[in-house]
Amino acid sequence: MNKINNSIKACYINCTLKKSPNPSHTEGLMHLSMDIMDRLGVYYDYFRFVDYNVPPGVQKDMTDHGYRSDGFIKIKKSILDADILIIGTPIWLGEKSSECVKLIERLYGLSGMTNEKGQYLYYGKVGGCIITGNEDGAKHVAMSTLYALQHIGYTIPPQADAAWLGEVGPGPSYLDEESGAKDNSFTNRNITFMTYNLLHLASMLKGNNGLPNLGNNAEAWTEGERWEFKKNRN
Amino acid sequence: MNKINNSIKACYINCTLKKSPNPSHTEGLMHLSMDIMDRLGVYYDYFRFVDYNVPPGVQKDMTDHGYRSDGFIKIKKSILDADILIIGTPIWLGEKSSECVKLIERLYGLSGMTNEKGQYLYYGKVGGCIITGNEDGAKHVAMSTLYALQHIGYTIPPQADAAWLGEVGPGPSYLDEESGAKDNSFTNRNITFMTYNLLHLASMLKGNNGLPNLGNNAEAWTEGERWEFKKNRN
Amino acid sequence: MNKINNSIKACYINCTLKKSPNPSHTEGLMHLSMDIMDRLGVYYDYFRFVDYNVPPGVQKDMTDHGYRSDGFIKIKKSILDADILIIGTPIWLGEKSSECVKLIERLYGLSGMTNEKGQYLYYGKVGGCIITGNEDGAKHVAMSTLYALQHIGYTIPPQADAAWLGEVGPGPSYLDEESGAKDNSFTNRNITFMTYNLLHLASMLKGNNGLPNLGNNAEAWTEGERWEFKKNRN
Amino acid sequence: MNKINNSIKACYINCTLKKSPNPSHTEGLMHLSMDIMDRLGVYYDYFRFVDYNVPPGVQKDMTDHGYRSDGFIKIKKSILDADILIIGTPIWLGEKSSECVKLIERLYGLSGMTNEKGQYLYYGKVGGCIITGNEDGAKHVAMSTLYALQHIGYTIPPQADAAWLGEVGPGPSYLDEESGAKDNSFTNRNITFMTYNLLHLASMLKGNNGLPNLGNNAEAWTEGERWEFKKNRN
C-alpha cells in the first residue's frame, strides 16, 4: 500500500491562452511534474486546451447546441480514463484564464452522471493544479480551481497546488532566464510534493476501489435512502 | 477497508460571532453532522470558538506576545488529536467570519511543524466545512476554507462542504421555522455526503498510517533529498 | 450637477453561455436596468458576447495571432464610446462564466493605452455588474468583476452590483415564473440603485471632464514625474 | 473642481495582527500614502486596529452584547467624520487578516443607517486599500475589501489598491532592507495613483454634496417610491 501503483494514469490540461506552437510558461512548469511521472513510469496525457476549439457551455456535447464540432469529446475521454487530473493555468488580472473556466464548465456539464456504485462520476479520482503568473494570484486561482474539482467529486490531497510568481509588478515570466524561476526552491518543492501526494492518494483510492458508497450514493439518496442521517428536529 | 474505523476522532469548531448561550444557526446545521457521528459511534469534540477568547496572531502561544491568556491551547490539543476537522462558519457580507479567519491563522501558526515521518503536522488528517447564511456566499467561503486546510496538510474528500442559504436578500435564517431550511433536501444530502466522505477518507488514511512520506517529507527536502524531481533544464 | 446628463452612453454586455435566440435569464434581469435607461432617455448598446465569436487572448487584435476574425473589434468600439459599462453574467459552479472572463481579458488587453490626459484608457468611465444564478455566488462574482473594472481604470459607484439568486440547491431560474424572482424587492431595489448610481457618477465625471490628471498621469510617471510622492526613507 | 479640496479628511486603519510597538510592514507602506496627504495638507487619523480590543460582532455597540468595552466606538467616530477610508492589511495564507474582517463586520453593523438624504450612511465617501505580503494574495484581498466598501456605500476610484509582494515562497517583507521593496516602482506608482484618485473623487463628491439621492434613497424606496423602475413584465 505504500508503493505508487503505476497502473495509475494522469491527465494534464494546460489552459494557457496561447495556441501552439507559442511557448507557454505554464507548460514549462507543468513539465516538472510530468517529468517526475515519466521517471516513475506513470502514464499521462497532455493537452493544450486552447488548441482544441472547445465551445463554451454546460451540455455534454455542444454539437447538439449550435456548434459544428466539439473538441472536448477527445479530452473528456482522457479525463474519465485517468485517476489524476492536473489543471494548469496562467493568471490574468489575478484570475485563472477563461480557457480554464471553460474547462471547469465542461467538467461540470458531466457532473450529474454517476458511476457503477451510484456515486458522482469523478468519485475516486484525485485532482491538483499548477499555476504561473508574473506577480500575484496563485492562491486565489488554486482555491477556486481545487474547490471546483472537489465539488464535482475529486479528492484533493495535501498541498495539491504548485505555482511560480515573481515580485509584484510587471517582470519576467517563468521560462524567462532573468526570472531565476527554475531555481525557486519553494516552487520546486511544491511541485514535487503535489505530484507525489496525487500519486499516493490515487494509489490508495485505486487499491480500495475508490471510496465506499455508504452515505454518498447519489442514486440511493434519490430513491430515499438516508443511512444515519436524520432531519433536524429542533 | 470498506468499514468506517470508529476509533476515528473528529473535532468540530463553530466560528459564529455570537457567544454562548445565544443560539447559533451554524450550530444548528452542524448538529446534523454530529448526530450522524453519534449514531455511528464516532467520538468528537465541539467548540464554539468565540467563547474561548483566542487572541489573533500566527505564533504558537500568544501569551509570549503580549496576551494574558490564550484559549487556543485547549482547542489545539483537540485538533491535533483528531483525524477530522470540521469548521463551521456563518457568512457576513459574503465572507467567512473574522473568528473563522482567526482560527485559520492559528492553525497556520503551527503548520511549519512536522510529524514523526517528517511531513507537515496536519498530513494524514481530513477536513471539511459547514456554512450558513441568509442568502449568498457559501461556495466562496468554502473555497477559501478548504483551500487553507489542504494548504497546511489536510486531505479534502469529495463534496466536503455543506451549506444552507435562503433566497437573495434579507430573510429568515437556518433555524427560523419560516425558512423551511430543515427540509432542504440539497443541504441535507450534502451534509450527509460530507460526513460520510470525511469518515471514509479518514478511515482509509488511518488504515494506511497516513500518507507515505516518499516525495513529501519536508525534513528530507530541507536536507537535500529530491526523489525523482529534477530542476527545469530548458 | 444634480441632474442626470443624458448625453451619457452606456454599454451592456451579457456574458451568458447560451447563443441567441436561446432565452437568457441574465438578459431578463439586465432588461430592468436598460428599461430605466430608456425611460430616462439614456442611449445604450447591448451585446450578447457569445454571439460574436470572440477569441481568447490579451492582444488588441487577435487576427494578428492566428484567428481568422475577431468579434471584439465591434464591441470594443461601443465600450470605448460609452461612459458606463455594465457586465452581465450567469454563475456556474460559483463563478462568473468563461465568456465573462474572456471579456475581462480582452478589456485588459487594451488597458496599457492612455487617454489624451496621459491616464489609462478607462479613466473617467464607471462600471457595474448584473448577475443571475440558481442559488449562490453573486457577491463572489461581483467582487471579482468590479475589481477588474476598477483595476483598469473604471470608477465604481456605491452598490454597483445587482443579482438574483434562489435558495441553495437546484431550482427555478430568474425568468421561470415559479421562482417569483421578478417580485424580489431586494433585487429590484439593487438594480434601481445600481442604475441611478452609475448615472450620477458618470454625470459627475463627465461634467468634470473625467478625473483630473494630477497624480495619476501614467505617461508623466514614466517620464519621472512624482508629484508629492517620496520614496520610503525608513 | 480640478483642485484637491483640503478640507477633506481621511481615516487610515491598519489591520496588522501585531500590537504596538511591534513594527508593522503594512504601516510602512501606509506611510507613503499618509506622507502625500501631509504634503498636500490633508488631515487624517491613523489607527492600529488590534490595539483597540474591538470585539467581534455586527451590532452597533458590543457592550450591549456581553463585552465590557468596545474599542470600535472611538474609531467609528473618525470613520464617520472622514471623507476617505483607507484600510491596510497584511496577507496570511492568501487572505486579509482576521482583524481586517472584524473591521468590515463592524462597518457592516452600521450599514443599515441612513444619512440626511435617506441614503445609506457611507454614501458620498470614497474607499481604498493598502496590502503587504511576502509573496501572494494582494489582488484577492483587494477585491474582497473594496467589494465590501462599495457594498455598504463607498465609491471606489480607479486603481484604489496598492500593494507590495515579494517572489513566491518565504522571503523578506516590505520593511526588510534585503527585499528592496521601497524601490519597487510599481508599488510606488500604485500608492501614488491611489492616493490622488481618492482625493480627486472625494473632492468631486464633496463639491457636489455627495451623490444626488434620486434613485438611491433607501428611505424613499421603503416608503414605496420607485422612480423610473418598473417590475419585469415578461
Which chains sit next to C, with 3 or more Cβ pairs under 8 A? A, B, D
Check residue D71 and give its pLDDT.
96
Tell if the CB–CB gap between A137 and D135 is shorter than 8 Å. Answer: no
Q: How far is B207 from chain C (nearest CA, A)?
A: 33
The answer on pLDDT for A23 being more than 60 is yes
pLDDT > 70 fraction of chain A, expressed in percent and rounded: 98
Residue to test with chain D: of A159, A165, A167, most D Cβ within 10 A: A167
Q: Where are the beta strands (DSSP E) in chain B?
A: 9-14, 43-48, 84-92, 95-96, 126-132, 161-164
Q: Give residue-wise pLDDT tens across range D84-100.
A: 999 999 999 999 999 99
Check residue D1 and give its pLDDT.
43
CB C158 within 8 A of CB D122: yes
CB A137 within 8 A of CB C148: no
Alpha-carbon distance of D214 to C186, in angstroms, equals: 18
Tell if the CB–CB gap between C155 and D201 is shorter than 8 Å. Answer: yes
Number of domains composing chain C: 1
Helix axes A25-40, A185-207, angle to 10 degrees: 50
Strands A9-14 and A43-48 turn out to be parallel
CB D153 within 8 A of CB D53: no
Closest partner residue to C143 among D147, D153, D228, by Cβ? D147
* pLDDT band with cut points at 50, 70 and 90 for residue D9: very high
The answer on pLDDT for A234 being more than 80 is no
Check residue B220 and give its pLDDT.
98
CB D144 within 8 A of CB B141: no
Neighbouring-strand partners of residue D14? D48, D88
Q: Any idea which residue has 470594443 for its cell?
A: C76
Interface of A with D (CB under 8 A): 93-94, 135-140, 143, 163-170, 184-187
Amino acid letter, residue A73: I
Tell if the CB–CB gap between D204 and C204 is shorter than 8 Å. Answer: yes
Q: Give residue-wise pLDDT tens across range A31-84.
A: 999 999 999 999 999 999 999 999 999 999 999 999 999 999 999 999 999 999
In a domain, D107, yes or no: yes
Closest partner residue to A58 among C58, C92, C101, by Cβ? C92
C154: DSSP letter = -
In a domain, C227, yes or no: no
Sign of CA dihedral D186, D187, D188, D193: positive
Q: Give residue-wise pLDDT tens across range B7-19.
A: 999 999 999 999 9
Q: Give residue-wise pLDDT tens across range C174-184.
A: 999 999 999 99
Q: How far is C193 from chain D (nearest CA, A)?
A: 5
In a domain, D1, yes or no: no
Q: How far is C176 from chain B (nearest CA, A)?
A: 15
Neighbouring-strand partners of residue A187? none
pTM of the model: 0.98
Round the CA-based radius of gyration of chain C to a whole number and report it.
Answer: 19
Which residues in chain B are closer than 8 Å to C138, comparing Cβ atoms?
136, 168
Q: Give residue-wise pLDDT tens across range D159-171.
A: 999 999 999 999 9
Alpha-carbon distance of B174 to B29, in angstroms, equals: 7
The answer on pLDDT for B69 being more than 80 is yes
The answer on pLDDT for B86 being more than 80 is yes
CB B197 within 8 A of CB A120: no
Check residue C1 and give its pLDDT.
43
D48: DSSP letter = E
ipTM score here? Answer: 0.97
Q: Give residue-wise pLDDT tens across range C102-150.
A: 999 999 999 999 999 999 999 999 999 999 999 999 999 999 999 999 9
Interface of D with B (CB under 8 A): 17-19, 50, 56-58, 65-66, 92-99, 101-102, 104-105, 108, 144, 147-148, 151-152
The answer for residues whose C-beta is within 8 angstroms of residue B176's C-beta and 6 or more apart is: none
In a domain, C36, yes or no: yes
- C24-29: average pLDDT: 97
For residues C173-199, one letter each, b for 16 or more C-beta atoms within 10 angstroms of the residue's C-beta and e for the rest, the string is bbbeeebebbebebbbbbbbbbbbbbb
Alpha-carbon distance of D224 to B11, in angstroms, equals: 49
* pLDDT band with cut points at 50, 70 and 90 for residue B79: very high
Tell if the CB–CB gap between A232 and B208 is shorter than 8 Å. Answer: no
Which residues in chain B are closer than 8 Å to C169, comparing Cβ atoms?
184-187
The answer for residues whose C-beta is within 8 angstroms of residue C130's C-beta and 6 or more apart is: C26, C29, C30, C33, C86, C87, C88, C89, C161, C162, C163, C191, C194
In a domain, B213, yes or no: yes
CB D46 within 8 A of CB D9: no
Q: How far is B6 from chain A (nearest CA, A)?
A: 14
Residue to test with chain A: of C93, C100, C110, C149, most A Cβ within 10 A: C93
- A22-34: average pLDDT: 97
Q: Would residue D44 be called left, alpha or beta, if left means φ above 0 and alpha means ψ between -120 and 50 degrees?
A: beta
Check residue B1 and give its pLDDT.
43
Helix axes C138-152, C98-108, angle to 10 degrees: 10
Cα angle: B210, vertex A144, A57; to 5 degrees: 120
The answer on pLDDT for D121 being more than 80 is yes
pLDDT > 90 fraction of chain D, expressed in percent and rounded: 96
Q: Reduced to 3 states, what is the DSSP secondary structure of residue A142?
A: helix
Considering chain A, what is the average pLDDT of its residues?
96
In a domain, B205, yes or no: yes
Check residue D3 and give its pLDDT.
76
The answer on pLDDT for C56 being more than 70 is yes
B41: DSSP letter = T
CATH value at residue C176: 3.40.50.360
- D203-217: average pLDDT: 97
Q: How far is A69 from chain B (nearest CA, A)?
A: 32
Tell if the CB–CB gap between A94 and C147 is shorter than 8 Å. Answer: yes
Neighbouring-strand partners of residue D95? D92
In a domain, A2, yes or no: no
Tell if the CB–CB gap between C186 and B170 is shorter than 8 Å. Answer: yes
Check residue B234 and give its pLDDT.
58
CB B60 within 8 A of CB B110: yes
Strands A95-96 and A84-92 turn out to be antiparallel
Q: Give residue-wise pLDDT tens across range B154-175.
A: 999 999 999 999 999 999 999 9
Which residues span the domain enclosing B196? 9-222
Amino acid letter, residue D11: C
In a domain, D198, yes or no: yes
The answer on pLDDT for B2 being more than 70 is no
CB D54 within 8 A of CB D70: yes
Amino acid letter, residue C231: K
The answer on pLDDT for A187 being more than 70 is yes
Check residue C92 and give its pLDDT.
98
In this structure, of A2-11, A191-200, B204-213, the range with the lowest mean pLDDT score is A2-11
